[in-house]
Amino acid sequence: MHFYLEPGGSLTGSIRVPGDKSMSHRSIMLGSIAEGRTSVSGFLEGDDALATLSAFRAMGVRITDPEAGRLTIEGVGLRGLRAPEQVMDVGNSGTSIRLMVGLLSGQPFDSMITGDQSLLRRPMGRVITPLSQMGALIGSREGCPPLEVKGGRALEGIHYDLPVASAQVKSSVLLAGLYARGRTSVTEPAPTRDHTERMLNGFGYPVDTQGGVISLEAGGALTATDIDIPADISSAAFFLVGASIAPGSDLTLEHVGVNPTRDGVIRILRAMGADIEIMNQRLVGGEPVADLRVRHAPLHGIEIPVEEVPLAIDELPAVLIAAACAEGMTVLSGAEELRVKESDRIASMAEGLTQLGIENTTRPDGIEVVGGEMTGGVIATHLDHRIAMSFSMAALRARDRIKVRDCAHVATSFPGFSELAVRCGLQLEVADE
């Protein structure tokens, strides 16, 4: 499946993008090991989150089919998961496998997790290392999936200094800590998304956060609760960029999660000159939520603050499209994490920008982009959903037609993206070769 995009247009109206992917994953995981029935609304019915749902069903958890983002989970408690009858396949979801391997390290049964060809190339050493220090026994294929987790291991709480800011690694260690003896703590070199900590607290399991150190004690229990998942700021980011770069745009994004560990994209775009208004701020289930109104504005290149990078890591591909339309140079550094996503996103974005005639220079931890006039061309997504959606927005300022190849993976995080984008004004057609 490919996207064909005609140049020009603007984005207008009022929309709500799908639910937050990070929170959707965690709602299934924590609801499954809680005691009682958890009700979830706003659940993202994308391939990645559905893979997590299927995995926990395979371990004996009763979860209703999502309907308009609503589902219920019959929690089995911390010790109630059962051995799956077969290998659990989480498709393209790095969040699923990295968080689940922490939780599975504390189970009494053996398990194996695999995924698609893209996931099988993604390094897992960053979670295997701390979990092994806790006493877990995890087999891998030269540090990559499939991962074989040995059950019945006695885990010990540790203190772990994250070498790279990563919410997935932090969360994996904390989930293993639920089953470890004593206290488990993690120090992050920079703040990362804190959905795991917030949601554990919401389930009544206390997590302590002080001065960059996040810790919990084993021996507690999770109590079922109701979860209202806001719209995903990572999905909203494509429309924030699209409306910023396209003359005549005036778009409102409703009920977007603006967690302070996730809203770096707003600050980055505003620093570039974007006109983004934050309206109707409120708390929903302990998570900050707001409506975002964005209008076209001339952008200028900046040096993206390094401290914002972990707070916008999934949104940076979209930001680079904004950089291509900005006056001057935009410099991104400290983003080596982008090298080990669904694709090497630094290389993938550089390749696509070059195809569209935008001057850029890569570095091991980032990229420099010089704003200019985009031509048209054929974009290779490398089966990465965020690359596909980022370059779709580029068509708003391109001179000629853009073809974005291999876009089926967009459904992993944003089902209905093409229909919603067309409704706003993007001139997009979906077709097979």
Q: What is the pLDDT of residue 262?
A: 93
Q: Mean pLDDT over residues 167-173, rounded? A: 97
Q: What is the pLDDT of residue 432?
A: 85
Task: Report the first-to-last Cα separation within the chain, whole angstroms.
Answer: 7
Of 23, 16, 22, the closest CA to residue 229 belongs to 23
pLDDT tens column, 315-345: 999 999 999 999 999 999 999 999 989 999 9
Q: Cα–Cα distance between 146 and 187 in angstroms, integer?
A: 28
Beta carbons of 148 and 139 less than 8 angstroms apart = yes
Q: Cα–Cα distance between 212 and 26 in angstroms, integer?
A: 21
Tell whether the model's pLDDT for residue 285 goes beyond 90: no
Strand duo 402-405 + 377-380: pairing: parallel
The catalytic position among 47, 194, 228, 314 is: 314
Q: Cα–Cα distance between 421 and 419 in angstroms, integer?
A: 5
pLDDT tens column, 109-164: 999 999 999 899 999 999 999 999 999 999 999 999 999 999 999 999 999 999 99
pLDDT tens column, 386-424: 999 999 999 999 999 999 999 999 998 899 999 999 999
Note the pTM of the prediction, 2 decimals: 0.90
Q: Cα–Cα distance between 15 and 38 in angstroms, integer?
A: 28
Residue 314 bears catalytic tag:
yes
Beta carbons of 289 and 254 less than 8 angstroms apart = no
Query: Which domains are present in the chain?
Result: 2-19+230-431 (3.65.10.10), 21-228 (3.65.10.10)
Beta carbons of 414 and 17 less than 8 angstroms apart = yes
Q: Mean pLDDT over residues 40-51, rounded? A: 96
pLDDT tens column, 423-433: 999 999 999 86
Beta carbons of 214 and 207 less than 8 angstroms apart = yes
